[in-house]
């Protein structure tokens, strides 16, 4: 009986560790140049400034491990993004309720556009969320998920056309 209870609790913790990401795609570009500039439009909205800088850090980490080179002087591409909604939620509440309390969920919504020589060649709206996990799931995973999704679009992995 003791092992049975441990097994049920373990299964419940594993299945409650849910995170996800969803995006809408509109793009018409090819990866021919490898220089890119990041432009955070979130800085105009003081409520999400901290979220914008965390996303920029996550993007810089991802881009550093790709074929792109971040530059501010005449880049081939400019990646503009704005945090539309950010709610970190409560990690302690996510942990103690196994991710079932909706008020504890973390959510990040970002609008992203890619420009080549002033012309928009791609646009995405990306939603990321964290519902729980064995340790409550951290909000850092929200920014990592969005950065991963943006990099997938830049590589052309998420083409819906």
- Regarding predicted confidence, which is higher, 21 or 103? 21
Q: At what angle do helices 140-155 and 49-64 cross, to 10 degrees?
A: 50
pLDDT band at 31 (very low <50, low <70, confident <90, very high): very low
Question: Three-state DSSP class for 47?
Answer: helix
Tens of pLDDT, residues 102-145: 666 778 899 999 998 889 999 999 998 787 665 656 677 889 99
72 close to 88: Cβ distance less than 8 angstroms:
no
Spatial separation of the C-alpha atoms in residues 80 and 44, rounded to whole Å: 13
One DSSP character per residue, 100-123 reads: --GGG-EEEEEEEEEEETTEEEEE
* Beta sheet of 77-87, edge-to-edge order: 19-27, 119-130, 106-116, 77-87, 35-40, 69-70
* Strand spans (E) along the chain: 19-27, 35-40, 69-70, 77-87, 106-116, 119-130
pLDDT exceeds 70 at position 154 = yes
What H or E segment, with its residue span, contains residue 67?
A: none
Q: What is the pTM of this model?
A: 0.71
- The pLDDT value recorded for residue 28 is 62
* Percentage of residues in the chain having pLDDT higher than 90: 25
Specify the pairing of strand 35-40 against strand 119-130: unpaired
Per CATH, which fold does 2-155 belong to? Rossmann fold (3.40.50)
Which residues in 44-61 are b (16+ Cβ under 10 Å) and which e? eeeebeebbebbbebbee
């Amino acid at each position: 009986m003791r092992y049975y209870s441990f097994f049920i609790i373990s299964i419940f913790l594993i299945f409650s560790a849910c995170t996800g990401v969803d995006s809408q795609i509109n793009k018409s570009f090819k990866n021919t140049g490898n220089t890119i500039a990041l432009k955070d439009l979130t800085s105009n909205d003081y409520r999400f400034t901290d979220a914008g800088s965390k996303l920029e850090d996550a993007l810089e980490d991802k881009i550093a491990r790709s074929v792109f080179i971040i530059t501010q002087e005449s880049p081939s591409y400019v990646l503009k993004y704005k945090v539309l909604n950010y709610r970190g939620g409560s990690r302690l509440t996510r942990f103690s309720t196994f991710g079932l309390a909706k008020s504890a969920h973390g959510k990040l919504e970002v609008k992203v556009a890619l420009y080549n020589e002033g012309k928009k060649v791609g646009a995405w709206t990306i939603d990321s969320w964290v519902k729980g996990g064995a340790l409550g799931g951290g909000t850092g995973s929200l920014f990592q998920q969005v950065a991963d999704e943006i990099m997938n679009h830049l590589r052309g992995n998420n083409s819906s056309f």
